[in-house]
Amino acid sequence: LASRDFHPENTVIDIKGIKIGGDELVVMGGPCAVESPEQIDEIAALVKAAGGQVLRGGAFKPRTGPYSFQGVGVEGLIMMAEAGKKHGLLTITEVMTPEYVDICAEYADILQIGTRNMQNFDLLRKLGTCGRPVLLKRGFSATYDELLNAAEYILAGGNPDVMLCERGIRTFETYTRNTLDLTAIPVLQQLSHLPVISDPSHGTGRRELVEPMCKASVAAGANGLIVEMHTDPDNSMTGDGVQSLFPDQFAGLLKDLEKLAPIV
Ligand code: PEP
Ligand code: MN
């Protein structure tokens, strides 16, 4: 079902009038984690003012270590839904377990599956009937074929609205957190009809590389970008402050992107 052989035309996912996978670029911006109502409200206002369409933010965080901040949980879903509604943005949040799919689907417009869960097959099966579009991140050691097979689980379960996300893979290079595989963008678009979103924040792990790799992703044909932005990155509650843009950088990036591709 994910293959272009089966479905020659591009899939365009229409969420409340925002079309993902068409001719226009969709930009998803926001913090790594939802921290407080004030934080997410302030960032939502900035995403909207810059011209973004989707507010990102994790309420449930998949942390490498068990003692790190794990996210504010269901309260965060509520905070984000309110901020999205107030500022006229769609919302995307990560869901980590099948038990939480229904509640995440109740509050968010798009469900994100993180790199660590790309092959959590019970979770993927549950997404087939969640009633929301899904952004499926590529596992950091997954091949294109493995990513497409993971998408297949969701499609086969009855949900046609899947976006594929390149978020960087693990290579021998340690200067960057991951290696953003730009080649994935045209390859996935050739093999599949699904929209492809690029995540240069996790793909590089370094703020100063996010802007050039966003532009490179758009040049390679990405249908959208997901970008971390924070008003106070040095004090953010996850380690992802180092890869989060400052609000003025985010706004400047979107201005520059308009020259490369029309933003919805
Ligand atoms: C995130 O988007 O904050 C995140 C945890 O992403 P990934 O699953 O790509 O590491
Ligand atoms: Mn993050």
Q: What is the pLDDT of residues 117-144, one digit of tens each?
A: 999 999 999 999 999 999 999 999 999 9
* Residue with CA closest to ligand 1 atom 4: 114
Q: Which tokens in the block code for residue 144?
A: 């294109």
Among the bound ligands, the one closest to the CA of 244:
2
Atom from ligand 1 closest to the CA of residue 56: 2
Whether 32 is in the pocket of ligand 1, judged by its Cβ within 6 Å, is yes
How many Å lie between the centroid of ligand 2 and the Cα of residue 130? 23
* pTM, full prediction: 0.98
Atom from ligand 1 closest to the CA of residue 115: 8
* Residue with CA closest to ligand 1 atom 8: 114
What's the CA gap between 174 and 128, in Å, rounded?
A: 36
Whether 214 is in the pocket of ligand 1, judged by its Cβ within 6 Å, is no
Looking up tokens 């690029």 gives 198
Phi and psi based region of residue 171 (left: phi greater than 0; alpha: psi -120 to 50; beta: remaining): beta
* Residue with CA closest to ligand 1 atom 1: 32
Residue 66 has pLDDT above 80, yes or no: yes
- Strands of the chain, DSSP E: 13-15, 18-20, 26-30, 54-56, 90-94, 110-113, 134-137, 162-166, 196-198, 224-228
Over residues 151-162, the mean pLDDT reads: 98
pLDDT digits (tens, 9 = 90+) for 201-210: 999 999 999 9
Over residues 97-111, the mean pLDDT reads: 98
pLDDT band at 260 (very low <50, low <70, confident <90, very high): confident
Residue 263 has pLDDT above 90, yes or no: no
pLDDT digits (tens, 9 = 90+) for 182-231: 999 999 999 999 999 999 999 999 999 999 999 999 999 999 999 999 99
Q: Given this model, what pLDDT does residue 261 score? A: 76
